[in-house]
């Protein structure tokens, strides 16, 4: 294994978080501080926001670098952990930014791995349940290879993450780099962008404004929603483990989109009605993680019930929409 040039002599480990001004990245930064880490965030703010990390201004253990991760990453001093969270992650983002999405998954992952290799740091890739595509196996275990359309509208994101996984494994095998891969399933919570195209902010914002809630297709397609704090606890445990193959992190509680729309209506007390629109191309029909590996290896499983997590997320959005 590569010898790690540790900063532990300064008592606090140093973590680099690419995409650390985004929804999940910024929550990871907060978690790392609670664990005693020094943190360097690298983000080009294409989909992230300094609002998510503004509360860290003036913290001597925090540094923000405004940079595209696809460019050469040079940092002075030791680094212990590299957490690669950078990437557009919503349908609107990667449909509007297909080339940037492919570049951050390929060139960005290459640069982040290079930084980890140069520093002798442990590297974690945030992959996605999208590597399973529109799955023919249900629920999805890590051993499933997926059913992905590489030239469809979602292909830029799916294939960027699949390539990133392959590159991460190549660095592990070729350079003996300590690597970890997490496959993230649908996650929600405060700091999601209001109009990022994902179902949670879409349904909540529509409900809070008493606008029609848009359900695609007949609403029978399923998703499994994990609250952000649960997800990040699982990711942290994975980074600190000795396991290098991919691990699913998500909530195995599965529900249809119609059920989720109804839950949102109930939680918000909205007068909105549900309307149906055509199902987008290649939209997965079902999505639920098999978390056996996470339970066995990490002693992890989600704890926050949907009703509680949804209430916290709605509270966050109440001050960010014009309620009618």
Nearest to 282 by CA among 93, 86, 95: 95
Give exposure, 124-139, as e/b (b: 16+ Cβ within 10 Å): bbbbbbbbbbbbeeeb
Catalytic choice (157, 171, 188, 236): 157
What residue spans of 176-220 are helical by DSSP H? 199-208
In sequence order, the β-bridge partners of residue 40 are 16, 63
Residue 273 tokens, joined: 């009605």
The values of phi and psi at residue 73, to 5°, are -100, 115
Q: How far apart are CA 237 and CA 294, in angstroms?
A: 9
Sign of CA dihedral 300, 88, 245, 137: positive
Catalytic annotation on 157? Answer: yes
- Please enumerate in sequence order all residues whose Cβ is within 8 A of that of 113, keeping only pairs 6 or more positions apart, or say none: 82, 84, 123, 167, 168, 171, 177, 179
Query: Taking the CB of residue 43, how many other CB atoms lie within 10 A of it?
Result: 27
CB 234 within 8 A of CB 249: yes
β pairing state of 122-128 and 81-84: parallel
- Cα-only R_g, the chain: 19
Q: How far apart are CA 75 and CA 137, in angstroms?
A: 43
Cα within 13 Å of Cα(56), Cβ side: 25
Nearest to 229 by CA among 21, 17, 26, 13: 26
Task: List, by residue number, the catalytic residues.
Answer: 157
């Amino acid at each position: 294994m590569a010898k790690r040039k540790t900063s532990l002599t300064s008592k606090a480990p140093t973590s680099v978080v690419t995409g650390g001004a985004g929804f999940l990245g910024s929550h990871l930064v907060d978690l790392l501080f609670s664990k005693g880490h020094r943190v360097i965030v690298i983000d080009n703010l294409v989909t992230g926001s300094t609002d998510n990390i503004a509360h860290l201004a003036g913290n001597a253990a925090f540094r923000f670098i405004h940079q595209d991760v696809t460019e050469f990453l040079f940092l002075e001093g030791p680094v212990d952990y590299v957490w690669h969270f950078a990437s557009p992650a919503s349908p609107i983002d990667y449909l509007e930014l297909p080339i940037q999405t492919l570049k951050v998954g390929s060139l960005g992952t290459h640069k982040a791995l290079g930084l980890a290799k140069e520093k002798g740091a442990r590297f974690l890739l945030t992959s996605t349940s999208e590597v399973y595509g529109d799955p023919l196996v249900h629920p999805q275990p890590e051993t499933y290879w997926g059913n992905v359309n590489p030239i469809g509208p979602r292909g830029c994101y799916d294939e960027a993450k699949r390539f990133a996984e392959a590159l991460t494994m190549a660095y592990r095998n070729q350079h003996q780099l300590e690597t970890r891969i997490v496959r993230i399933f649908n996650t929600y919570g405060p700091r999601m962008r209001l109009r990022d195209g994902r179902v949670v902010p879409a349904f909540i914002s529509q409900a809070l404004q008493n606008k029609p809630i848009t359900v695609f297709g007949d609403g029978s397609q399923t998703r499994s929603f994990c609250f952000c704090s649960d997800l990040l606890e699982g990711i942290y445990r994975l980074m600190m483990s000795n396991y290098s193959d991919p691990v699913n992190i998500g909530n195995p509680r599965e529900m249809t989109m119609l059920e989720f729309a109804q839950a949102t209506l109930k939680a918000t007390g909205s007068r909105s009605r549900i309307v149906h629109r055509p199902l987008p191309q290649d939209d997965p029909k079902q999505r639920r993680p098999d978390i056996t590996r996470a339970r066995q290896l990490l002693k992890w499983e989600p704890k926050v019930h949907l009703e509680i997590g949804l209430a916290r997320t709605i509270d966050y959005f109440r001050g960010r929409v014009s309620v009618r």
